[in-house]
Amino acid sequence: MAETSIRAFVVGHPIAHSRSPKIHRHWLEAFGIAGSYEAVDVAPAGLAAFVGGLNRQGFRGGNVTIPHKEGVFALAERRDEAAEEIGAVNTLWFEDGTLWGGNTDAHGFAANLDEYALDWDRNGPAVVLGAGGAARAVVHALKQRGIKDIRIVNRTLARARELGDRFGAGVSAHALGATGELLADAGLLVNTTALGMHGNEGLLADPALLPEKAIVTDIVYVPLETPLLAAAKAHGLKTVDGLGMLLHQAVPGFEHWFGKRPVVTPDLRASIVADLGAAA
């Protein structure tokens, strides 16, 4: 029985912090599937060998996290449209012997807002704080959902401009100094910077400058209520935390490897919240 059980993985460096094993094992148990989901620590120098050996090791596929999302992009034989647009791969799977790379972060971001903030994509211009890898996934999701005015603000203006050039029409790049002005008529504010994580306190934008109908979301989920979300809440704005993005991005991968489409339930969320609390 053990020999036929389906194997999946998450690869990163380091990997001990990853919540993905807990998410996928929750679903394996819920479906009663005899499969495994393993955390694998691989340094950049070993990435190509790891990916090259997946088939031999009996892996059906897996997730890819920091710092390998760009490295695996180059190693996948085929890539889905989201991965091509974003320039990074977070999910690998085999299809008829071919290794596919996809990116489900944009799906996770949009599905989280769909769950908690109905009509978030019809609320006006979006301001995105940050221009790193996660910002690329967020901007892709915003464009896909038809938001016509996307304003990227970043400490390093050149990186914001790179993103603006990458995504083209409707995506503009700005320096931090312009944030107040950009917020005045915005319908959505998204933090994609590492600012707000435990040990990296600070606020890049004052939610009090937003219109009262605006929605504020942070993709950082440790802590669950970041300083930005706390400030937005205090100002009476609708807020959505970043944990749902992590949970929803996991759905398509599980379906590829294990053949069932899982659901993000309150039970799953509660078990990950408890895990985050225990680690804090």
Q: Which residues bind ligand NAP (CB under 6 A)?
A: 105, 108, 130-135, 154-156, 159, 192-195, 197, 204, 219-221, 242, 245-246, 249
Closest separation in Å from C-beta 169 to ligand NAP = 22
Closest separation in Å from C-beta 165 to ligand NAP = 15
Q: Which is nearer to ligand NAP, 15 or 245 (CB)?
A: 245
Closest separation in Å from C-beta 250 to ligand NAP = 9
Q: Which is nearer to ligand NAP, 25 or 155 (CB)?
A: 155
Q: Which residue is nearest to ligand NAP (CB)?
A: 132
69 is catalytic: yes
Q: Which is nearer to ligand NAP, 7 or 145 (CB)?
A: 145
Select which of 69, 213, 233, 260 is catalytic.
Answer: 69
Q: 75, 48 in Cβ contact below 8 A?
A: yes
User: Rounded to an integer, what is the distance from CA 33 to the centroid of its chain?
Assistant: 26
Closest separation in Å from C-beta 157 to ligand NAP = 8
Q: Which is nearer to ligand NAP, 6 or 209 (CB)?
A: 209
- Please state, in angstroms and rounded to a whole number, the distance separating the CA atoms of residues 202 and 194: 10
Point out which residues pair with 78 in neighbouring strands.
100
- Known catalytic residues are 69
